[in-house]
Protein backbone atom coordinates (compact mmCIF):
# COMPACT_ATOMS: atom_id res chain seq x y z
CA UNK A 1 0.00 0.00 0.00
CA UNK A 2 1.28 3.49 -0.88
CA UNK A 3 0.33 6.32 1.43
CA UNK A 4 1.58 9.58 2.88
CA UNK A 5 3.92 9.08 5.80
CA UNK A 6 3.09 10.18 9.32
CA UNK A 7 5.50 11.14 12.06
CA UNK A 8 5.00 7.65 13.48
CA UNK A 9 6.70 6.29 10.32
CA UNK A 10 9.85 8.32 10.85
CA UNK A 11 11.83 5.68 12.79
CA UNK A 12 11.16 3.05 10.11
CA UNK A 13 11.96 5.52 7.32
CA UNK A 14 15.32 6.06 9.03
CA UNK A 15 15.82 2.30 9.29
CA UNK A 16 15.15 1.89 5.56
CA UNK A 17 17.52 4.77 4.75
CA UNK A 18 20.31 3.28 6.86
CA UNK A 19 19.77 -0.28 5.54
CA UNK A 20 20.68 0.52 1.93
CA UNK A 21 23.80 -1.02 0.43
CA UNK A 22 24.53 1.90 -1.92
CA UNK A 23 24.37 5.66 -1.35
CA UNK A 24 25.12 5.30 2.34
CA UNK A 25 25.23 8.49 4.38
CA UNK A 26 28.64 9.91 5.16
CA UNK A 27 29.09 11.14 8.74
CA UNK A 28 29.27 14.72 7.45
CA UNK A 29 25.93 14.53 5.67
CA UNK A 30 23.84 13.08 8.51
CA UNK A 31 23.02 16.46 10.07
CA UNK A 32 22.03 17.96 6.68
CA UNK A 33 19.75 15.02 5.97
CA UNK A 34 18.15 15.29 9.42
CA UNK A 35 17.57 19.05 9.05
CA UNK A 36 16.00 18.63 5.61
CA UNK A 37 13.90 15.69 6.83
CA UNK A 38 12.61 17.81 9.71
CA UNK A 39 11.53 20.52 7.28
CA UNK A 40 9.90 18.06 4.87
CA UNK A 41 7.97 16.30 7.62
CA UNK A 42 6.66 19.69 8.75
CA UNK A 43 5.92 21.13 5.30
CA UNK A 44 5.79 18.49 2.55
CA UNK A 45 5.24 14.76 1.98
CA UNK A 46 7.13 11.54 2.38
CA UNK A 47 5.43 8.79 0.34
CA UNK A 48 5.80 5.30 1.77
CA UNK A 49 5.22 1.76 0.60
CA UNK A 50 3.86 -0.27 3.47
CA UNK A 51 3.92 -4.06 3.31
CA UNK A 52 4.08 -6.80 5.93
CA UNK A 53 3.10 -4.24 8.57
CA UNK A 54 6.04 -1.88 8.00
CA UNK A 55 7.37 0.78 5.66
CA UNK A 56 9.58 -0.96 3.08
CA UNK A 57 10.40 2.01 0.87
CA UNK A 58 9.88 5.74 0.51
CA UNK A 59 10.21 8.65 -1.87
CA UNK A 60 10.40 12.30 -1.00
CA UNK A 61 10.89 15.58 -2.85
CA UNK A 62 12.09 18.90 -1.55
CA UNK A 63 9.60 21.40 -3.01
CA UNK A 64 11.86 24.32 -2.09
CA UNK A 65 14.37 23.49 -4.82
CA UNK A 66 12.70 20.86 -7.01
CA UNK A 67 14.97 17.99 -6.02
CA UNK A 68 14.12 14.41 -5.36
CA UNK A 69 15.54 14.23 -1.87
CA UNK A 70 15.26 10.48 -1.56
CA UNK A 71 14.08 7.23 -3.07
CA UNK A 72 15.07 4.30 -0.91
CA UNK A 73 13.87 0.73 -0.76
CA UNK A 74 14.72 -1.74 1.98
CA UNK A 75 17.16 -4.30 0.54
CA UNK A 76 14.71 -7.15 1.22
CA UNK A 77 12.18 -5.45 -1.11
CA UNK A 78 14.44 -4.37 -3.99
CA UNK A 79 13.50 -5.42 -7.50
CA UNK A 80 9.76 -5.56 -6.81
CA UNK A 81 8.74 -2.29 -8.48
CA UNK A 82 8.49 -0.16 -5.33
CA UNK A 83 10.78 2.52 -6.74
CA UNK A 84 8.82 2.65 -10.00
CA UNK A 85 5.63 3.19 -8.00
CA UNK A 86 6.98 5.70 -5.47
CA UNK A 87 9.14 7.98 -7.63
CA UNK A 88 6.27 9.46 -9.70
CA UNK A 89 4.60 10.66 -6.49
CA UNK A 90 7.68 12.63 -5.46
CA UNK A 91 7.95 14.00 -9.02
CA UNK A 92 4.33 15.12 -8.86
CA UNK A 93 5.12 17.00 -5.64
CA UNK A 94 7.93 18.82 -7.48
CA UNK A 95 5.58 19.67 -10.36
CA UNK A 96 2.89 20.87 -7.93
CA UNK A 97 5.50 23.18 -6.36
CA UNK A 98 5.85 24.90 -9.75
CA UNK A 99 8.90 23.21 -11.23
CA UNK A 100 8.98 22.03 -14.85
CA UNK A 101 11.73 19.51 -14.10
CA UNK A 102 13.05 17.53 -11.16
CA UNK A 103 16.70 16.94 -10.34
CA UNK A 104 18.53 14.42 -8.20
CA UNK A 105 22.02 13.07 -7.64
CA UNK A 106 23.38 9.57 -7.28
CA UNK A 107 26.67 7.75 -7.40
CA UNK A 108 28.13 6.51 -10.67
CA UNK A 109 28.12 2.80 -11.39
CA UNK A 110 25.25 2.09 -9.01
CA UNK A 111 21.94 0.32 -9.43
CA UNK A 112 20.36 3.73 -8.81
CA UNK A 113 22.20 5.20 -11.80
CA UNK A 114 20.90 2.40 -14.02
CA UNK A 115 17.37 2.83 -12.59
CA UNK A 116 17.26 6.55 -13.35
CA UNK A 117 18.73 6.18 -16.84
CA UNK A 118 16.24 3.40 -17.65
CA UNK A 119 13.38 5.58 -16.41
CA UNK A 120 14.13 8.58 -18.62
CA UNK A 121 16.36 10.72 -16.42
CA UNK A 122 19.06 12.66 -18.29
CA UNK A 123 22.56 13.22 -16.94
CA UNK A 124 23.24 16.96 -16.90
CA UNK A 125 26.54 17.07 -15.04
CA UNK A 126 28.64 15.87 -12.16
CA UNK A 127 29.21 17.22 -8.68
CA UNK A 128 32.74 17.82 -7.42
CA UNK A 129 32.55 14.50 -5.56
CA UNK A 130 31.74 12.65 -8.82
CA UNK A 131 28.02 12.15 -8.15
CA UNK A 132 25.87 12.27 -11.26
CA UNK A 133 23.30 15.05 -11.52
CA UNK A 134 20.15 13.86 -13.26
CA UNK A 135 17.20 15.86 -14.54
CA UNK A 136 13.77 14.83 -15.78
CA UNK A 137 11.18 17.06 -17.38
CA UNK A 138 7.85 16.71 -15.63
Of 124, 126, 125, 2, whose CA–CA distance to 60 is shortest?
Answer: 2
Whether the CB-CB separation of 121 and 104 falls below 8 Å is answered with: yes
What CATH number does the domain containing 25 carry?
Answer: 3.40.630.30
Burial (CB count <10 Å: 0-12, 13-18, 19+), residue 58: buried
- Alpha-carbon distance of 33 to 28, in angstroms, equals 10
Contact 71, 36 (CB under 8 A): no
The C-alpha atoms of residue 125 and residue 80 are separated, in whole angstroms, by: 29
**pTM of structure:** 0.89
Domains of the chain: total = 1
Distance of CA 22 to the CA centre of its chain: 13
Domain, as residue range, for 69: 2-137
Task: State pLDDT tens for residues 41-69.
Answer: 888 889 999 999 999 999 999 999 999 99
**18-43: pLDDT as tens digits:** 888 777 666 667 667 677 778 788 88
Amino acid sequence: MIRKATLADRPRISEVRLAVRENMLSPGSVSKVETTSDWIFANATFWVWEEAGAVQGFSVADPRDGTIFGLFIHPDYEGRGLGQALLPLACEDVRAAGFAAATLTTGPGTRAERFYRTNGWEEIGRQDNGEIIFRKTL
